[in-house]
Structure 1
């Protein structure tokens, strides 16, 4: 029996920041790579993020305070969280697993695991920024997080202590010190944290586009088709695109974000991948309101100065991935942004995206239970832009048969056990 000939060393499914980072790392390391996505690279969740390279973001959404604050979060008009009850009832295992991971011991484990991976983030991303000649898209001016109430700040003290324990460097700021840095803030300020050395991206889709250009200059191929299923065997993987095309490769990487579970035969369809829908609004003529990303803790969003204006990005909506946009979330961001800066007028753009989320707030990175020829890399939740580079480096090391330099034992797909 003849062995099927592989067309590529690696097929990457999904061309967001995770997928394009994987493709560029693998191509520059000598692999022959094809990346597949029916949508323009970087046009999905990557495009609409808060754009922080958040190496300080080791604290998960899961938190012990959820148990006491959930009723308020679900019912208050001023809450950054919205929840579709019917969706929750249809996905009880995911919801129960999420709540179980809000226990203090689990949160400590999650924080440590994310903290360890985040120490590798710059080493994974910076070489790609240099390869893509995208240094002009990166701003190094720290990141500010502010609380407008004593109670809000005190409720975050345990989280901030865990950040320090993970080596995150930040300065605690008084109200006057916050206003000296960002004088346009109009909300009450109780306390602020300034995360030293934090950076942000002024145009994440342009970053991905430049990475794609460099990837193709190195010989990589981009196919504007989606992969709908795959069939792994001992020598490689056969991928099937939406138009029926068959493509062979030695390995296949699933980096399709919140839609990764829709690709049959990868093993991703058996994992508890959920979606945190997030929103942003953009004020084109107000980019100078802040000089760095400013997160308003109680309101659950960032204000970020972008190439195209001031982006207000955040909130969490637990709902079906294909549900219609929630007008209340957009109205919330507009209302709160006016509280933060005064009357900004109507936003010039609105956006809805889908953060891929596992119930333990940790990404899935590693060989699939279906086959070691299939490598899974998704579920990065709020920090995909931050972890894209290091994830791509890890996937490349796995595809080359190497042991990753970063410990990925906490992110193994097998941690969820058998999923029926």
Structure 2
């Protein structure tokens, strides 16, 4: 039996979301035996309920110059694009200080360069992955339309588009006639828009992740359900200790547990300022609206996505950690706005959901080795870009464990960059 002290598995991957599943796929290309470990089942947490976007053009970090001037106005609306529950405000203060530091021009420029590099490798690796895994039929290239209420809001967006243009990202600005040609039924309040033709979406994020997991399982990976308390180097191996007292032994390990990764890193002595964005959405039944492509309501912090399983209305940022009860007034507020913005939207019969996005202050994930052992690698903290960056991250952590030179510099993503 593999996974014992005398017969360790090659790699234990802690976390069976899209990052962990994808990492497992790349490790199997290296002929490694893999065990995926999770407290729930594969793709049952954040990977199940996101908007389904492969947002390779979304290269600008949230921590940007001027963001701290906007944030107080957003925070005045408890159901707006950004909120911090009062009960969590003191706890998140150190993270907000680092977020402010990351928004300074020099830090923002460095984070943007790193994000661009990660997006490039992620796009290339995802293209190859969906082909090799037979998942191309689950990816659509319908583009994405971001809409603006008036010329002033559109003008305010232009510096961000100019920054994307410098990175070779293709888009075109449209006025009302162009909006109608791309998507019928939008409220006339939206006078301007920007269309990104290379934007992609998966048919459904949970279905996509489970289809990839099925390929991983077919290739010999196993799954072990359990609550992991520690991941520790032990001689020439790594031991994974579960809350029930059992253990799993591996030659190497990857911690890819999303928002639950921080305590495991802390127990290894790695101080990682990971926080949790609580994302909300409502998935309406198929046919609720004739949606042609993803629509981004940037001024309101949410999107509407067409999935094979229905119409998903969700987004916004609530910095509230893992323990506070969900506030589904947020999903209801987004649904009410979506009804006003898409008057023909049928808002009945929806299913509400809340998930935990693992977020770093500089919008960059943690990809690198633990300081206590080169046998333990980290792959978490992707915020709302986990699906988008999953294939690039899988390639990079496989390179790390194989002691190969990674395709891009990993210094911007190192675990100790805030120490």
TM band (smaller chain): over 0.9
1:56 paired residue number: 57
Where has structure 1 moved over 6 Å in runs of 4 or more? none
What secondary structure does 2:299 align onto?
coil
Q: Is the 8 A contact 1:21 1:211 kept in 2?
A: yes
Instruction: Give yes or no for the alignment of 1:414 onto 2:419.
Output: no
Give 1:85 deviation, angstroms. 3.1
Q: Is the 8 A contact 2:123 2:392 kept in 1?
A: yes
Which of residues 379, 391, 404 is equivalent to 1:389? 391
CA distance in 2, matches of 1:214, 1:93: 41
Give 1:67 deviation, angstroms. 2.4
1:250 paired residue number: 251
Q: Is the 8 A contact 1:367 1:373 kept in 2?
A: yes
1:375 paired residue number: 377
TM-score by length of 2: 0.94
2:41 paired residue number: 40
C-alpha distance after superposition, 1:2-24 (max 9, x if no partner): xx645111110001110000011
1:171 paired residue number: 172
C-alpha distance after superposition, 1:107-137 (max 9, x if no partner): 2221111011101112222333234322221
CA distance in 2, matches of 1:222, 1:62: 37
What secondary structure does 1:156 align onto?
helix
Q: Is the 8 A contact 1:9 1:33 kept in 2?
A: yes
Q: Is the 8 A contact 2:270 2:415 kept in 1?
A: no
**Superposed CA RMSD:** 1.9
Compared CA separation, residues 190 and 29, structure 1 to 2 (3 A): same
Compared CA separation, residues 24 and 266, structure 1 to 2 (3 A): farther
What secondary structure does 1:415 align onto?
coil
C-alpha distance after superposition, 1:48-87 (max 9, x if no partner): 1111100001111112232222222011367211112331
2:105 paired residue number: 104
What secondary structure does 2:367 align onto?
strand
Compared CA separation, residues 76 and 227, structure 1 to 2 (3 A): closer
Instruction: Give yes or no for the alignment of 1:399 onto 2:398.
Output: no
Q: Please say which of residues 341-350 and 325-334 is displaced more in the overlay.
A: 341-350
CA distance in 1, matches of 2:69, 2:95: 20
What secondary structure does 1:88 align onto?
helix
Q: Is the 8 A contact 2:148 2:297 kept in 1?
A: yes
Q: Which runs of 5+ in 1 are unaligned?
A: none
Aligned length: 415
| Alignment map for 1:6-25 (pairs within 5 Å) | 6-25=7-26
2:347 paired residue number: 345
Q: Is the 8 A contact 1:88 1:95 kept in 2?
A: no
C-alpha distance after superposition, 1:311-330 (max 9, x if no partner): 01201001122211113212
Instruction: Give yes or no for the alignment of 1:302 onto 2:313.
Output: no
CA distance in 2, matches of 1:399, 1:268: 20
What secondary structure does 1:320 align onto?
coil
Q: Please say which of residues 155-164 and 123-132 is displaced more in the overlay.
A: 123-132
2:312 paired residue number: 311
